[in-house]
Amino acid sequence: MTRRILLLLICVAGLSSCKVSYSFSGTSIQEDVNTISINYIEYKAMRVNPNLSNELTEALRNQFRRMTRLEQVELDGDMDIAGEITGYDISPAAVTADDVAARNKLTVTVKIVFTNRKYPEDDFNKSFSAYAEYDSTNTIDAVESALCAEIVEKLVEDIFNASVAQW
């Protein structure tokens, strides 16, 4: 009986000494990391979409607001996310027997620089891509808004997971 109690106390002491805070959202943020700066994601792609930078930036900010305890600050957060949209491309996704595109694919590529000022071993500088397909009978103008919303959702999930869920 005393062995069980002793073992339980050792386990509790071991768990309470951890400095990483885990949550039901899947994040693993160290306890002494309290703030994050999410900079405006600049648009550098050749093909222009005037709303995409703002949509991606706001979606990232909302995700961190909803899924973490981090306070968002304008500058010098314990964590910092900066980036730029480097690609916005349309390509054929499926071709018919007549060499005509049956489906097209919109792909967005974003280069993200993540800095953790308290734990620099978590820093990264990498690109993320996401795409959505659409029927070629539609014009890009007709489906662009819906496609971008789908792509932004995927990109935000990937960036979030890479930065604070460390997947």
> pLDDT of 110-133, one tens digit each?
999 999 999 999 999 999 999 999
Domains of the chain with bracketed CATH: 34-165 (3.30.160.150)
> pLDDT of 94-103, one tens digit each?
877 777 778 9
Distances (CA, A) of 110 to 8, 82, 107, 126: 47, 10, 10, 8
| pLDDT surpasses 70 at 71 | yes
**Model pTM above 0.75:** yes
| pLDDT surpasses 80 at 50 | yes
Burial 113-148 (b: 16+ CB within 10 A, else e): ebbbeebeebeeeeebebbbebebeeeeeebbeebb
Place of tokens 């979606």: 59
pLDDT at 84: 98
Interval 6-35 mean pLDDT: 57
- The mean pLDDT of the chain is 86
Tokens of 30: 């160290």
| pLDDT surpasses 60 at 7 | no
Neighbours of 82 (CB within 10 A): 16
